[in-house]
Amino acid sequence: MTNSKYLVPLLALLMLTMFPLVQFFSNQNYIIHLLLYAFFYIIMTSSWNIIGGYGGFISIGHNAFLCVGAYVAGYAAVRYGISPFYLIGLSGLVAGIFGFIVGLITLRVKGPSFIISSIALIMIMRIVFDHWDLVGGASGITLPFNSLPVQWSKLPHYYSFLFLALAAIYLNWYVRHSKFGLALRAVSHDETRSAVAGINVKMIKVTAFALSAFLIGSAGAVWADYLTYIRPNMFLVILIAANIVLMVILGGKGTVTGPIVGTVIFILFNEIILTFFGATELNILLTGLLLVITLLYFPDGIVGSLKNKNILPKFLDWG
Amino acid sequence: MIYILQVIILGLCLGLVYALMATGLTLIFGVMRIVNLAHPIFILCGAYVAYWLFVLYGLDPILAIPIAAIVCGVLGAIVYKLVFEKDAGSQKYSEMTVLLTFGTAMILDGTLSFFFKNTQRVTSPSYATDAFFIGDIFLPTAQLYSGLVSLSLIVALALFLKFSTLGVAIRATSLSRVNAELVGINVKFVCLFSFILGCALAGCAGSLVSFVFSFFPAKHFEWIAVLMSLVVLGGMGSILGAVTAAIVLSVLASLVGAFLAPSWSTMVFFLALFVILLIRPQGMFGKYLS
């Protein structure tokens, strides 16, 4: 029994690593796109979970960091001709520093005020980026295409996202089980008491926020290269952040595997809807409906609810 | 000088409309401690009611106010019964409730977008393009009317809260839920009533907005942040605060719009929100949120 805890994730990882081999036989770019899209969202949900799940600071503006990461990489790629893949770390770093500064301001407030401030953050960034001529203003930046043949062209992004997703999941697990994470969860319960217990409340909060911004920013660099075209209204819309929040809550916030489960289920759900109903506005409606139903009936999410009933499969039980 | 005065007066008229948009929101927060992110979508629903009444039956948007209010009030009652009744009253749920209201906003947004698509709409009653002059100052009739109607509705609301029994009950609940319950106020009913009243106010604001701004379903995301900035700046739950904040910020925004660039003007609201959270999180007149 204890083995299945490691066996299933390792098998899954092995299969995901080997999956692009199918390209030798037939072109499965659609599935590869779907998988890398899932990895991309897993990076975002897992990072969001650090501050939103463990820290209890629900941000509906985390796509701001995605935007920062994408623009750092995009600007450098166009201006200096550096491939965004070399800039993953730098994009993450810039997004992390940006997150640190924003966190210093917005993490002073808790609860609803914080949620509102996170919405204001994307609104402000939207106006700034729409007017910032250096990075193309509202019309954005066009990045160069990569020169790989079509069946291999998605693979750099696939493996980068896979790697980043693993890093995000590991970080999530680490935060859950480290002293830092313990402090973070203490802060989310009661800031005053945590401060009395000797926790540097402000630093803990802001560091967690910067960490999640760092990972999302790194993902932004790859995402910019994948899309080959970035402009403010692709990143700075509330719907992306709403999806992140929904995925985490659906899976179970404050758990290691919750964000992964939520992301996978949501992306499958979304893809089924797209197949049967087409891309209509009903998508927004169904996303909202799913959010409301989850919040009303399973506020602990899938992983959380299963855990409460003690029927969580071993391989999902990572804390 | 005349130019500055002109800009200030236009900002003032808009500010009164913003104030009406924000009063419902702050009322709901005061009583129920719910940050209702769905408020702007109720405003949009009111705007669509006014729009279709105008297009189909030629009804003036100002006369459509009661109908829009009733429609939004009923919609609010349904939403309250379905979504919020379960949790009404407990204090621990504030963050989850914000997300609930956000989900509600997305449901209504999706419904509106499905039926009306992302077309920019605006009602155009005969006075919408009219204007008159006082000396050298130019006054667009639409802005003036909407400002005056908003002002009278806000005054009516204030009088209602001040003097009617139900109004006193609402204020008492908003001061302290437990104590209100102790003196025999039916807090559950007060919550339901103020939610409906807040949504009805959103409907009123909607029909005024329908000829002042052009609107489309996704517009409410922008309004969320604008209205939140007013409510947070004024102090959550304080109607006087929200009205003051609306007027001050709207005048500032029109000054920025006139002297910098129109597209920067909403920045005033968002920056104000950041600054106020930084300096005085409880707002000018309000109480702490968390």
Interface test with A, best of B273, B287, B288 (most A CBs within 10 A): B273
Q: Count residue pairs from A and B with Cβ separation < 8 A.
A: 133
Q: Per residue in A291-306, pLDDT tens?
A: 899 888 888 888 888 8
Asked if the C-beta of B216 comes within 8 angstroms of chain A's C-beta atoms, the answer is no
A229-230/B131-134 β-pairing: unpaired
Asked if the C-beta of B281 comes within 8 angstroms of chain A's C-beta atoms, the answer is yes
Cβ distance of A295 and B35 shorter than 8 Å: no
CB atoms within 10 A of CB A208: 27
Asked if the C-beta of A133 comes within 8 angstroms of chain B's C-beta atoms, the answer is no
pLDDT at B290 over 50: no
pLDDT at A98 over 50: yes
Q: Per residue in B32-84, pLDDT tens?
A: 878 888 999 999 999 999 999 999 998 888 899 999 999 999 999 999 998 88
Region of B289 (left: φ > 0; alpha: ψ -120 to 50; beta: rest) is alpha
End-to-end Cα distance, chain B:
44
Cβ distance of B110 and A109 shorter than 8 Å: no
ipTM: 0.84
Alpha carbons within 13 A on the beta-carbon side of B90: 10
Residue B28 to residues A292, B32, B152, Cα–Cα distance (Å): 19, 6, 20
Cβ distance of B289 and A130 shorter than 8 Å: no
pLDDT of residue A23: 81
- What 3-state class would DSSP assign to A121? helix
pLDDT of residue B87: 63
Q: Please give the average per-residue pLDDT across B19-25, as a whole number.
A: 91
B118 Cβ partners below 8 Å, 6+ apart? B216, B217, B218
Asked if the C-beta of A252 comes within 8 angstroms of chain B's C-beta atoms, the answer is no
Cβ distance of A119 and B290 shorter than 8 Å: no
pLDDT of residue A260: 93
Nearest partner of A248 among A42, A34, A12, A95, judged by Cα:
A42
- What the block records as the tokens of A293 is 């139903």
Judging contacts by C-beta atoms under 8 Å, the chain A residues touching residue B110 are 281-288
With tokens 């909202």, the residue in question is A288
Q: SS3 string of A235-295?
A: HCCHHHHHHHHHHHHHHCCCCCCHHHHHHHHHHHHHHHHHHHHCCCCHHHHHHHHHHHHHH
Asked if the C-beta of A138 comes within 8 angstroms of chain B's C-beta atoms, the answer is no
DSSP B34: -
Cβ distance of B229 and A292 shorter than 8 Å: no
Cβ distance of B289 and A111 shorter than 8 Å: yes
Domain ranges of chain B: 19-219
Asked if the C-beta of B113 comes within 8 angstroms of chain A's C-beta atoms, the answer is yes
Asked if the C-beta of B279 comes within 8 angstroms of chain A's C-beta atoms, the answer is no
CB atoms within 10 A of CB B47: 32
How far does B112 lie from chain A, in Å, by closest CA? Answer: 9
Judging contacts by C-beta atoms under 8 Å, the chain B residues touching residue A292 are 83, 100, 103-104, 107
- What 3-state class would DSSP assign to B137? strand
Residues in chain A: 319
Which percentage of chain B shows pLDDT scores above 90? 33
pLDDT at B214 over 60: yes
pLDDT of residue A283: 80
Q: Residue ranges of the alpha helices (H) in chain A?
A: 2-18, 29-49, 63-80, 88-106, 111-131, 155-177, 179-189, 191-196, 201-227, 232-235, 238-251, 258-277, 282-297, 301-308
Interface test with B, best of A284, A286, A291, A296 (most B CBs within 10 A): A284
More confident residue, B23 or A278: B23
The H or E element containing residue B139 is strand B137-140
B57 Cβ partners below 8 Å, 6+ apart? none
Judging contacts by C-beta atoms under 8 Å, the chain A residues touching residue B38 are none
- Please tell me which of the candidates A119, A131, A291 has its beta carbon nearest to residue B263: A131
Cβ distance of B225 and A119 shorter than 8 Å: yes
Q: Per residue in A14-23, pLDDT tens?
A: 888 888 888 8
More confident residue, A45 or B30: A45
Domain ranges of chain A: 30-238
Q: Please give the average per-residue pLDDT across A137-163, as a whole number.
A: 85
Pick the residue from chain A with its C-alpha nearest to B268.
A124
Which percentage of chain A shows pLDDT scores above 70? 99
pLDDT of residue A167: 93
